[in-house]
Structure 1
Amino acid sequence: MNQSRPPIADSSLALLAKGYSWLPDRRLHTAAPLVRTRLMGQHAVALHGPEAVRFFYDERHVERGTALPGPVLSTLFGHGAVHTLDGQPHRERKGMFLSLLTGPETVAALVDRVTEVWDEAVESWPGRPIVLFDEASRILTRGVCQWAGIPLEDGDSTARDLVAMVDGFATPGPRHWRARRARARSEASLAGLVEEVRAGQAAAPAGSALDTMVRHRDADGRLLDPHTAAVELLNVIRPTVAVCWFVAYAGHALRTPGVKERLREDDPAYAVAFAHELRRFYPFAPFLGGRAVTDLEWRGEPIPSGTLILLDLYGQNHDSGLWDEPYAFAPQRFVGRPPHRDELVPQGGADRATGHRCPGEDITVALLAALGPRLARLEYDVPEQDLRIPLTRIPARVRSGFVIQDVRTRVPAAAHRSGQGAS
């Protein structure tokens, strides 16, 4: 391959300055079928689109384990996590996650736990302002830990730590260091719990996530060491708690004319469509990274072995070639039309059994399909606040956390569309 090209400037500072718009903007100003850039001194190319998703997740082309930066492992995923594995070791570990996080009964059990905690919490909302992001993080923490068999001594502190790990993974400065400290505390606590269960000093409910991690044997036939078991327990509960980002986004989205009224109806198909559109429309992960395992070619463009390959998730989820009016929030686009596997990629693409697509995607969708209508059926006021969602912040979030107040009543399902009440 002819690799002689003019030098390319490093884009690390541009990424920090532009956030989610960095890759989509680069693509708009690039005539080639891929974007060439440099990040942290490394040569990189960026792809997008369903065909690119399949290319990116083909293990003959791209490996994920060596491409994850140390700061991301030290905050979001954890060292030794399933995300750092490829090939058969990855498939063996991933199989354990799939057994925990997929299947109608498993998903329903977790959703039931979380919605029970939500319904109890809502009883205390009247008479005080509620920051939806914070309240949802505490509800999700209590629900998922009950489901996982993990005892909670201080649910609020645990929720703060789980949120911090996500909030600080992609930024330098105080948020990043809070994330590191939160991960260190959480890993130490859960590793101790694993050791206590193995020593018979604590109980793990049969079939729970804790029980599964304690007993899981990797591809080499060995039990996970306590630290790795703790890392993987966090990779079960942390993504569930991260749904609080989308619960706050749900509050933001319910301001769209007609959406709240539709969600108040007893229409499961629309509730699922609402969940998909939340994940498509609102920003979460900007892109994923992998590394070329050999010399490759993409639509006639050479990609030398070792090149960092980026899959532009945010750009694909807002691509006008894939979506009508991509910057309009329109859940109806998914009613009667489930998204194709490699088209909607907020949590990765390709086959989740063999690739790195998030195994908890079904849980995310089911939780949002359950909590969205519950939120819509509440009557509340939205006070003056900063509802901006800056795309320069990764991960983005509603600045105010979405505050509601004067929570009054619950509207029954299939209520008449009066257009009165909540704003």
Structure 2
Amino acid sequence: MDAHRRPPADHTLSLIAGGYAWLPQRIRQSPDRAVPLRIMGRPALALSGPEAVRFFYDEHNIRRHGAIPEPVSGTLFGHGAVHTLDGQAHRQRKELFLPLLEPDRIAGVVGHVTAAWDEAVPEWAARPQVVLFDEAAAVLTRGVCRWAGVPLQDAEARSVAADLVAMVDGFATLGPRHWRARRARARQEARTARVIEDLRSGRGPAAGRPDSLLARVAAHRDADGGRLPVRTAAVELLNVVRPTVAVSWFVAFAAHALHRWPAHRERLRDGDPAYAAAFAHEVRRFYPFAPFLGGRAARDLTWRGHQVPAGGTVLLDVFGQNHDEELWADPYTFRPRRFLERPPQRDELIPQGGCDPRTGHRCPGEGVTVGLLESLAVRLARLEYEVPAQDLRISLRRIPARVRSGFAVTAVHEPGQWPAAAGARAGAGAGS
């Protein structure tokens, strides 16, 4: 065959194996911030920048139905989830989640989670060592389930938290992590479905919370006027609980930042809300979580001279945009002050997507994530502990990336129980 007529090489394996850096490197080498690719045998186009965000979130350009590969939808989101819908079906289903944008609902989640954190700290102090990633996941699970009205026994909180973490941890791999994620999703969908069935039949402890998120999901009617099938309702309830528990990634990253750059600790301890918000934004910008987002071209598209046919794949580079030197001065420097000097403009900071969450596919729980991280970062900065020698590296080839050790701490004490000088030891330790 003539070399000029050979189909372009498929980039799927390179995209997966290359981790967070592969796509941003290719986009940086492109003068128009767009890179033609071939993903899973389909023509694809990777984009970056605020204009690309608006192009990507325009429903006339990009659809989500059929865009999310089954290994991702089957572990991270669940089959039939809102993330896979478009148009009126998406808007009707998203009515379930829009209350998460309201300040009182955000405050409610944060209040329950911080109460669970405060309850857990004395127990941490009684143990020789705790891993903050694991403890944060358990705290977040207890807090969000209390807020949502989902029954949860103390004895099962850790196992449920482990399953919710596994769903996130295994979405971007076909190895053992993926199969753990599938088993975890099956267990939690079955458990949540039983809770919804009990509520609909008037049985069980959930029946007494008519204003809860659980009750809202159980009663929701879709675009066809019918109630959600029990399994779909379970999927959507988990699509609030699971991403809330995923904030454990950011809690571990916040601990990592406070360890590497301890000067931020004092400012956070003071409880300045503006600085806490700036710190939360910088953690979400600086540390790796979502590498990119994907959709399908709803029609034949052209972007800056590059064409992608209807049904082709369009990728929005998330990690690269959050480290774009055209948007962020010294993008690989951790500097929360940047968000005090200049609030992020529309569609610049996109760790959880872009555009308006009320009308598009942007995560409506982003406000909850920021609120939780603000409050937990302040509590973390006030907590007194030591950091033993451990592996604190974060591999950019692992998706989702995480602190390898989970960030273990020892000699945990509640604020004020140590001499003032002891708090400085929280910034010491090996392995940074």
Q: CA deviation at 1:124?
A: 1.4
Residue of structure 1 equivalent to 2:337? 332
1:262 and 1:416, CA in 2 relative to 1: closer, same or farther beyond 3 A?
A: farther
Aligned pair partner of 1:318 in 292, 314, 323: 323
CA distance in 2, matches of 1:379, 1:195: 44
Identify the residue that residue 242 of structure 1 maps to in structure 2. 246
One-letter code of the match for 2:48?
Answer: H
**Per-residue deviation at 1:416?**
9.1
Distance in structure 1 (CA, Å) of the matches to 2:321 and 2:265: 27
Deviation at 1:411, TM superposition (A): 5.0
Kindly report the root-mean-square deviation, in angstroms, between the aligned alpha carbons of the 2 structures.
1.8
Q: Does 1:125 align with 2:124?
A: yes
Partner amino acid for 1:117?
A
Pairing 1:70–2:75 present:
no
CA contact (8 A) 1:264 1:373 kept: yes
Counterparts of 1:346 and 1:273, CA distance in 2: 14
Within 2, Cα distance between the matches of 1:287 and 1:62? 15
1:14-413 paired onto structure 2 within 5 Å: 14-99=14-99, 101-126=100-125, 127-153=127-153, 154-202=156-204, 203-255=207-259, 256-335=261-340, 337-410=342-415
Q: 2:425 aligns to what SS in structure 1? A: coil
**Is the contact made by 1:34 and 1:47 (CA closer than 8 Å) also made in structure 2?**
yes
Residues 20 and 392, structure 1, Cα contact 8 Å, conserved in 2: yes
Give the match's secondary structure for 2:235: helix
Normalising by structure 2, what TM-score?
0.93
Task: Give the conservation status (yes or no) of the 8 Å contact 1:214–1:229.
Answer: yes
- Measured after TM superposition, the shift of residue 76 of structure 1 is 0.2
Contact 1:204 1:211 in 2 (8 A): no
Paired residues of 2:292 and 2:316 also in contact (CA < 8 A): yes
Secondary structure, counterpart of 1:66 in structure 2: coil
Per-residue CA deviation, residues 263-319 of structure 1 (Å, 9 max, x unaligned), is 111200000111111110000010000011111111122222111000000000000
Deviation at 1:32, TM superposition (A): 4.6
Identity of aligned residues (%): 61
- Count of equivalent residues: 417
Moved more, 68-77 or 336-345: 336-345
Q: CA deviation at 1:340?
A: 2.1
Q: Residue 44 of structure 1: SS of its match in structure 2?
A: strand
* TM-score of the aligned structures, taking structure 1 as reference length: 0.95
Partner SS for 1:123: helix
Deviation at 1:92?
Answer: 1.0
Which string of whole-angstrom CA distances, capped at 9 and with x for unpartnered residues, describes residues 43-77 of structure 1? 11100100000000001100012201011111000
- Contact 2:66–2:296 (8 Å) recurs in 1: yes
The CA deviation at 1:26 is: 1.4
Q: Displacement of 1:380 after TM fit?
A: 1.0
CA distance in 1, matches of 2:239, 2:5: 41
Report the alpha carbon displacement of residue 335 of structure 1 after superposing the two structures with TM: 1.4
The amino acid across from 2:356 in the alignment is D
3-state DSSP class of the match of 1:338?
coil
**Greater alpha carbon shift after TM alignment, 192-201 vs 317-326:** 192-201
**2:430 aligned partner:** none
Distance in 1 of aligned mates of 2:360 and 2:421: 44
**Alpha carbons of 1:332 and 1:419: their partners in 2 closer, same or farther (altered >3 Å)?**
farther
TM-aligned CA deviation for residue 208 of structure 1: 0.9
